[in-house]
A and B are shown apart, each in its own frame.
Chain A
């Protein structure tokens, strides 16, 4: 079974721009969660989608949004990028055992 894939793997953007990251879950997994990982804050939960609906949301500003498609693929969008948005963005997929999340390799976003 193929693992969780994320594209692109690396991205450099300028302050004020917007960015869209993509995540393809493991086949059969209907839940996709997004996390931001920075050295100082560690892994922070952004949101979770299940069957195209946002089921949970973390404590991030509205500039961070996401969606999930009928094939369970998910996208995350960040608008009006700030320097502090530079981070590794990880997505994780799971089935009906949400604690067994399988993480993708991440997208490294650098905002200059």
Chain B
């Protein structure tokens, strides 16, 4: 059965801390790994990763994929209260189906 597992389920940190969110996947005919941020209702796209070992960066956020060990991490440095959200990862297969994890809820305390 195709599945995506995220850890931890929730995280509370102080502003300025660095956090690492984990995502492991078992998806047949895997194509890519995606990260989304969900603040209120609609998830917003952060990154898409298709190749192992190549880091994607956007400001304080970065992500990397390991296709051998079937996992990805999302790092957020110098966290701010605006980073508080649920972070979702999803694995896309070659048939364009997306398998989402249940998310990591991040709370950043001022």
List A residues at the B interface (Cβ < 8 Å): 3-4, 33, 35, 40-45, 48, 55-56, 58, 88, 90, 98-106
Q: For this complex, into which size category does the number of interface residues on chain B fall?
A: 20 to 34
Shortest Cβ distance from residue A53 to the other chain B in the assembled complex, whole angstroms: 13
Provide a sorted-by-A list of 29 A–B residue pairs whose CB atoms are within 8 angstroms: A3-B42, A33-B98, A35-B100, A42-B88, A42-B100, A42-B101, A45-B98, A45-B100, A48-B96, A55-B96, A56-B95, A56-B97, A58-B97, A88-B41, A90-B41, A90-B42, A98-B96, A99-B32, A99-B92, A100-B45, A100-B48, A101-B98, A103-B36, A103-B41, A103-B43, A103-B44, A105-B40, A105-B42, A106-B41
- A43, B100: Cβ atoms closer than 8 Å: yes
- A45, B42: Cβ atoms closer than 8 Å: no
In this assembly, does B102 line the interface, its C-beta being within 8 Å of a C-beta of chain A?
yes
- B48, A43: Cβ atoms closer than 8 Å: no
Shortest Cβ distance from residue B40 to the other chain A in the assembled complex, whole angstroms: 8
Known: A98-B92, A99-B45, A102-B45. 14 other contacts (CB 8 A): A41-B102, A42-B101, A42-B102, A42-B103, A43-B43, A45-B98, A45-B99, A45-B100, A99-B34, A103-B36, A103-B43, A105-B40, A105-B41, A106-B41
Set of chain B residues within 8 Å of A58, measured between Cβ atoms? 97
Set of chain A residues within 8 Å of B73, measured between Cβ atoms? none
Beta-carbon nearest neighbor of B43 in chain A: A103
A103 to B88, CA, bound (A): 13
In this assembly, does B90 line the interface, its C-beta being within 8 Å of a C-beta of chain A?
yes
Q: Interface centre among A4, A102, A103, A106, by most B CB within 10 Å?
A: A103
Set of chain A residues within 8 Å of B45, measured between Cβ atoms? 99-102
Kindly supply a per-residue 1/0 record for chain B positions 35-65, scoring 1 wherever the CB is within 8 Å of any chain A CB and 0 otherwise: 0100011111100100000000000000000
Beta-carbon nearest neighbor of B33 in chain A: A99
Beta-carbon nearest neighbor of A58 in chain B: B97
Known contacts A33-B98, A43-B100, A44-B100; decide if A4 and B88 are in contact (CB<8 Å): no
